[in-house]
Amino acid sequence: MKTSTKNQTNSKKRPRLVLVGLPASPGYAMGHCHTISNREVTVVEETLPNERLAQEEQLFLKALHNTIKEIAQIKQITVDRLGIDEGRIFDAHLMILKDPTLVNGILDQIKKEKKNVQWAVHTQITALISSFESHKSALMRDRAMDLKDLYHRLMGALDDSGPVIMEDEISKGAVLISHELTPSILISLKKGQVLAFATDSGGRTSHVSILARSMEIPAVSGLRNISAMVESEDTIIVDGTGGMVIINPNEDDIRKFEEKLEVFNRQQRELFTMRQLEPMTRDGKYITLHSNIELVIEADKVLDYGSTGVGLYRSEFLFFRKGLPTFEEQVAAYKYILESLAPHSVTIRTLDAGGDKLIPDISAANESNPFMGWRSIRVCLEHEDLFEMQLKALLVANTKGNLRILLPMISSMQELRRSKEHIEKCRKELESEGVFCHDVELGVMIEVPAAVMLVDKLAKEVDFFSIGTNDLIQFTLAVDRTNELISSMFQPHHPAVLNMIHKTVMAAHREGISVAVCGEMSADPMSSLLLVGLGVDELSMTPWSIMECKKIIRSINFEDVRETAQNVLKMDDTESVNAYLKKKYSQTITDLGVSCFISTPESNED
Amino acid sequence: MISKTLYVTNKLGVHARPAGLIVDITGQAKSDVTIIHDNQKANAKSILNVMMLAIPPGSHVEFEIDGEDEEEVMKLLERLFHENFHEESN
């Protein structure tokens, strides 16, 4: 599928070469090489007449502005996909571009020495580069790299051709070869334009490999000097799964490549077929499969993986950064998810900060017991302004009416009622400003044992439950899940936990509301069968687990798993539960070729 | 004008990240801020200048601040240094 034989015939006989690197993004492709290198810039010194100076100054400011915009954009993409820390490097770049020493130095050279803008940028930045390069500290010498990067970007912006590659420069069926792929190159590519990537550098490429994966383009990195070895129009096979490339492959290589590609494509097709099928048991019980997401951009993938909505968007991921997100930023993020998935439902959990998810501007430092501390809804009910800003942003973003709001860590009716008052207040305020608000379903996380004990009452006042198994297990069993000394006591199939889940489901169904499970448990095959058997209506998990889960659900009878679950509820220890589940399900699971990670009972055969 | 000497107590000294954090503060200040290390004076609003000082761990750094928000800016800088730039201490 992803092959191109174009231009193969006219290349002279060039030696076959196999290079091994790091698998950066899976898949196979064959095509012709297209090498990208940093253009060499030639700069001429000119002394300009006075009337040209204002124009020259404008050229610089425009280029500076465009470069800042470009880096800010790349930073945002990096932060969205990889998190705040990875984005920091671009903060330094932005700060350098706004540095008065640099900017005024360049402007002075234009205005006072009457030099052309290229010359001013060239002399100022190269002077800085050489002083950093000659520095005694290795850390400072590394910074010269950043300055070089900025130099190329600014020069590119001045040239107006921009530092990113032009799309029509690359003919279809090309494999991009370069020393290092920058995110700016990647995001400037159109879909389907490039077959694969191969790069010299294996260092700072983690962001590139994640971007490649999300674009579903095979990539191999860490090939040391491939960019110097290939010539344009060399044919190359890229094995992104194995981390290998073959330049000028022989017939044997091509045959093997075609075999591997076919297997890979078949797997992709299977995934695609599974995507179309309903998650329904053989006797017709429909189980809703939703995705858990952390990044706004992941919303793009949710439907592709075959789920029918978002069961949990952890909104705190918007807050893991310097400075809190503004109202506008929040609206934009929620809107993106809600609108890209409409009419499918999207459950957004309100800020769940604290515990092991500290947010610099909110969380209290040094709590001796952070999991049971000042976190989650407790923080929100105290920081009312923060909470209401989020609630308003959610209501405003809900233009399609597919939003469900989920409140975390609820442990009392009062917390629920106070939260509802805030939601009502926000709705009234927005409506008085003329903003139309769709109705919103409201649910609570069942993750504190107190909530389970109050579950009959909670069920009367909310529209749905979502069980957070990680916290529920931790609090029910009094086992800190970050403490390695007791890690074996963190038992998802402990009868106490299973009875908590059962009690929750019973109460919910009495009131006619649905129950979701959004913890890690829902993605484990054996646990998911148990949860379905216990009557859970919805499982929410990482998008890539959906396909396997669907496969399992389609292979079973609901009546059978219900009976198994009923038997399990009669048991009084985890070992018996695991042994029984293994006896019941391990054959089915092995036959389906899926993997377990929770209850893989150790070698104790019985 | 006020001035104060602060100590660099993190493990790596004032490399790019701490320099960035300093400029985060000074860049927003209305006052002029000068950083002095090893008898070299630099504009503390310039990340390049601050980095070029290459202040090693364990050093003394003097700040001179002049302007309407001088007290406030000094306080923020003091806190930043006290907190080791949110890094491991020496």
Residue A605 has pLDDT above 60, yes or no: no
- Dist. CA A451–CA A458, nearest whole Å: 8
Q: Do B27 and A98 touch (CB under 8 A)?
A: yes
Does some domain include residue A26?
A: yes
Residue A9 has pLDDT above 70, yes or no: no
The b/e string for B15-44 (b: 16+ C-beta within 10 A; e otherwise) is bbbbbbbbbebbbebebebbbbbeeeebbb
- Which helix or strand (DSSP H or E) is residue A55 part of? helix A50-82
Tens digit of pLDDT for each residue in A194-251?
Answer: 899 998 765 433 445 666 776 778 998 878 778 878 888 799 999 988 788 999 999 9
Task: Sketch the domain layout of chain B as residue ranges.
Answer: 2-86
- Which helix or strand (DSSP H or E) is residue B5 part of? strand B2-7
Q: Do B48 and A139 touch (CB under 8 A)?
A: no
Does some domain include residue A605?
A: no
Gyration radius of chain B's alpha carbons = 12
How much of chain B exceeds pLDDT 90, in percent?
61
* pLDDT score recorded for residue A603: 34
Nearest residue on chain A to B86, judged by CA atoms? A360
Residues of A in contact with B17 (CB under 8 A): 88, 92
Same domain, yes or no: A395 and A363: yes
Q: Do B48 and A136 touch (CB under 8 A)?
A: no
* pLDDT score recorded for residue A250: 94
- Dist. CA A553–CA A282, nearest whole Å: 8
Does some domain include residue A396?
A: yes
Determine the distance in angstroms separating the CA of A74 from the nearest CA of chain B, rounded to an integer. 19
CB pairs < 8 Å spanning A and B = 47
Nearest to A95 among B47, B54, B56 (CB): B47
Determine the distance in angstroms separating the CA of A86 from the nearest CA of chain B, rounded to an integer. 13
* pLDDT score recorded for residue A12: 55
Residue A152 has pLDDT above 80, yes or no: no
CB of A241 within 8 A of CB of A23? Answer: yes
Tens digit of pLDDT for each residue in A504-555?
Answer: 999 999 999 999 999 778 888 899 999 999 999 999 998 877 888 898 999 9
With a CB-CB cutoff of 8 Å, which residues 25-44 of chain B face chain A?
27, 43
Same domain, yes or no: A505 and A362: yes
Residue A512, burial from CB neighbour count under 10 angstroms (0-12, 13-18, 19+): exposed
Same domain, yes or no: A481 and A540: yes
Residue to mutate among B48, B53, B83, with most A CBs inside 10 A, is B48
Angle of helix B70-82 relative to helix B16-26, nearest 10 degrees, comes to: 160
Q: Which two tokens stand for residue A3?
A: 């092959």
Q: Do B47 and A139 touch (CB under 8 A)?
A: no
Q: Which residues contact B63 (CB under 8 A, 6 or more apart)?
A: B3, B4, B5, B6, B33, B34, B35, B36, B44, B74, B77
Q: Do B54 and A98 touch (CB under 8 A)?
A: no
Encode A539-581 in three state secondary structure. EEECHHHHHHHHHHHHCCCHHHHHHHHHHHHCCCCHHHHHHHH
Higher pLDDT, A412 or A244: A412
CB of A601 within 8 A of CB of A492? Answer: no
How much of chain A exceeds pLDDT 90, in percent?
48
Does some domain include residue A604?
A: no
Count how many residues are written for chain A.
606
Does some domain include residue A98?
A: yes
Nearest residue on chain A to B27, judged by CA atoms? A99
CB of A391 within 8 A of CB of A420? Answer: no
Collapsing DSSP to helix, strand or coil, A294 comes out as coil
- Side-chain half-sphere of A523: how many Cα atoms within 13 Å? 19
Does some domain include residue A566?
A: yes
* pLDDT score recorded for residue B79: 93
Q: How confident is the model at residue A300 (pLDDT cuts 50, 70, 90)?
A: confident
With a CB-CB cutoff of 8 Å, which residues 106-165 of chain A face chain B?
128, 131-132, 135-137, 139-140, 143, 146
Tokens 């040209």 locate to A52
* pLDDT score recorded for residue A171: 73
Residues of A in contact with B46 (CB under 8 A): 99-102
Same domain, yes or no: A116 and A28: no
| Residue A55: CB atoms within 10 Å | 11
- Dist. CA A548–CA A556, nearest whole Å: 13
* pLDDT score recorded for residue A169: 63
Same domain, yes or no: A267 and A325: no
Q: How confident is the model at residue A182 (pLDDT cuts 50, 70, 90)?
A: low
- Dist. CA A480–CA A490, nearest whole Å: 8
CB of A596 within 8 A of CB of A589? Answer: yes
Q: How confident is the model at residue A409 (pLDDT cuts 50, 70, 90)?
A: very high
Q: Which two tokens stand for residue B52?
A: 């070029």
CATH class of B2-86: alpha beta
Residue A575 has pLDDT above 90, yes or no: yes
Last residue of a domain, one of A243, A271, A299: A271
Question: Could you give the number of structural domains in chain A?
Answer: 3
Higher pLDDT, A422 or A22: A422
Same domain, yes or no: A530 and A476: yes
Same domain, yes or no: A139 and A205: no
Residue A364 has pLDDT above 70, yes or no: no
Nearest to A92 among B20, B27, B49 (CB): B20
CB of A535 within 8 A of CB of A505? Answer: yes
Within A240-326, residue ranges assigned H as helices are: 251-276, 299-302
Residue A41 has pLDDT above 90, yes or no: no
Same domain, yes or no: A30 and A80: no
Same domain, yes or no: A145 and A186: no
CB of A221 within 8 A of CB of A24? Answer: yes
Residue A428 has pLDDT above 90, yes or no: yes
- What average pLDDT does range B9-32 have in this prediction? 88
**Residue B16 touches chain A, beta carbons under 8 Å:** yes
Q: Do B47 and A91 touch (CB under 8 A)?
A: no
Q: Do A99 and B16 touch (CB under 8 A)?
A: no
Provide the CATH number for the domain around residue A186: 3.50.30.10
Does some domain include residue A147?
A: yes
- Dist. CA A583–CA A437, nearest whole Å: 51
* pLDDT score recorded for residue A430: 96
Provide the CATH number for the domain around residue A140: 1.10.274.10
Tens digit of pLDDT for each residue in A259-288?
Answer: 999 988 887 777 677 788 899 999 999 999
Nearest residue on chain A to B19, judged by CA atoms? A92
Q: Do B48 and A99 touch (CB under 8 A)?
A: yes
Same domain, yes or no: A262 and A356: no
* pLDDT score recorded for residue A248: 94
Tens digit of pLDDT for each residue in B44-85?
Answer: 999 999 988 888 888 999 999 999 999 999 999 999 999 888
Residue to mutate among B21, B34, B37, B47, with most A CBs inside 10 A, is B47
Same domain, yes or no: A485 and A546: yes
Q: Which residues pair with A293 in a beta bridge?
A: A313
- Dist. CA A443–CA A132, nearest whole Å: 56
* pLDDT score recorded for residue A524: 85
Residue type, A396: V
In this structure, are strands A28-36 and A235-239 parallel, antiparallel, or unpaired?
antiparallel
- Dist. CA B47–CA B75, nearest whole Å: 20
Q: How confident is the model at residue B15 (pLDDT cuts 50, 70, 90)?
A: confident
- Dist. CA A1–CA A261, nearest whole Å: 8
* pLDDT score recorded for residue A6: 42
Does some domain include residue A565?
A: yes
Q: How confident is the model at residue A5 (pLDDT cuts 50, 70, 90)?
A: very low
Collapsing DSSP to helix, strand or coil, B44 comes out as coil
Q: Do B52 and A139 touch (CB under 8 A)?
A: no
- Residue A412 backbone dihedrals phi, psi, to 5 degrees: -155, 155
Peptide bond into A100 cis (omega under 30): no
Q: How confident is the model at residue A601 (pLDDT cuts 50, 70, 90)?
A: very low
Q: Which two tokens stand for residue A485?
A: 């000394």
Gyration radius of chain A's alpha carbons = 28
Q: Do B12 and A100 touch (CB under 8 A)?
A: no
Does B15 qualify as catalytic in the annotation?
A: yes
Higher pLDDT, A230 or A394: A394
CA-closest candidate to residue A537, choices A518, A569, A514: A514
* pLDDT score recorded for residue A534: 97
- Dist. CA A319–CA A360, nearest whole Å: 9
With a CB-CB cutoff of 8 Å, which residues 51-80 of chain B face chain A?
51-52, 54, 56
Q: Do A139 and B16 touch (CB under 8 A)?
A: yes
* pLDDT score recorded for residue A7: 42
Domain coverage including residue A84:
50-159
Residues of A in contact with B15 (CB under 8 A): 137, 139-140
DSSP letter, residue A236: E
Q: How confident is the model at residue A4 (pLDDT cuts 50, 70, 90)?
A: very low
Residue A160 has pLDDT above 60, yes or no: no
Last residue of a domain, one of A135, A159, A183: A159
- Dist. CA B38–CA B50, nearest whole Å: 13
Q: Which two tokens stand for residue A155?
A: 């020069």
Same domain, yes or no: A174 and A107: no
- What average pLDDT does range A35-63 have in this prediction? 82
**Residue B12 touches chain A, beta carbons under 8 Å:** yes
With a CB-CB cutoff of 8 Å, which residues 582-601 of chain A face chain B?
none
